[in-house]
Structure 1
Amino acid sequence: MPITLTLTEGVIAADKAPIAVARITDAFLRHHGLAGNSIMTPNVTTHLNILPKGRTFAGGKPVDGAWIETKTPSFALASQEVQTAFFGEATDILHDLSGGTLARDRIWSNGVHAVDGTWNLDGRPLTNAALAGAISAA
């Protein structure tokens, strides 16, 4: 389940970006009750993009910020409670790692639900039901 974390260069120190990735991954797993799950833990992946100043925008104007996007099956991030808890914690993580200089209103997030059957684990396509079964069996 990919998480894409995009940061404008300098919003958090470069050496703290891997810490952000680890903490956001941990939060995602924990808020789904999957911390330590042998199927999900290695399959929550992150793409970290650090873009130069002047290459990130809001309202068509350059802005320094952070963006968090998840791509999950429909059973993940399915409730408002989990959405609020996960994205709220992810926002806090980035704000805190910036030393408080990255304002919360400059951290955007969204979740995308994938089409059923488009998940591949170990090179095998799985439906949501098959994926849920593999997760619960782990």
Structure 2
Amino acid sequence: MPLTLIITEGLLPKDRRHTTMARLSEAFLKLHGLTGNKFFTPNVIGHIADVSADSTFAGLKPTPVAIVEWLTPAFAFASREIQEAYVAEATQIVYDACDGKHPREKIWVNLKYAIDGMWGIGGKAFTNEELGAAAARG
């Protein structure tokens, strides 16, 4: 499950990059009941995309931003309870990582779903059903 943290350069101290990504990933696993799952845990992947200050915008003007963006199978984040809990927790994680110097209203959380059957891991294209079965075994 790829996670991308898109953030304006300088907002996230370099020494907090690893722990921030780990905390965002752990929150995803926890809320989905997958903490420690042997199949899903190693397949929660991600990266941080630092974007220059002159390349991030909000309200039609240059603005520092932080965007937590997931690409997941369609069964992830399926309940309103999980959606609300993750958005709140992810926002708090990023806010804390930035020492509270970046306003919460400039932290966004987005989700994109992959087409069923196009979840490739290790050369195998998994369907949502196959992913669920692998998670159940893990």
Q: After TM superposition, is the score higher than 0.5?
A: yes
Task: Using the aligned pairs only, state the percent identity.
Answer: 43
Partner SS, residue 55 of structure 2: coil
- What residue ranges of structure 1 are gaps of 5+ in the alignment? none
1:26 aligned onto 2:45:
no
CA distance in 1, matches of 2:134, 2:98: 37
Partner SS, residue 120 of structure 1: strand
Moved more, 56-65 or 69-78: 56-65
Q: Which amino acid aligns with 2:32?
A: H
By how many angstroms is 1:60 displaced?
Answer: 2.8
TM-score between both structures, scaled by the size of structure 2: 0.96
CA distance in 2, matches of 1:124, 1:60: 42
| Aligned match of 2:5 | 5
Partner SS, residue 48 of structure 2: strand
TM-score between both structures, scaled by the size of structure 1: 0.96
| Aligned match of 2:40 | 40
For these two proteins, the number of residue pairs brought into alignment is 138
| Aligned match of 2:80 | 80
By how many angstroms is 1:12 displaced?
Answer: 2.0
By how many angstroms is 1:121 displaced?
Answer: 1.6
1:103 aligned onto 2:103:
yes
| Aligned match of 2:70 | 70
- What residue ranges of structure 2 are gaps of 5+ in the alignment? none
Query: Which consecutive segments of 4 or more residues in structure 1 shift more than 6 A?
Result: none
Q: Which amino acid aligns with 2:86?
A: F
Partner SS, residue 54 of structure 2: coil
Partner SS, residue 39 of structure 1: coil
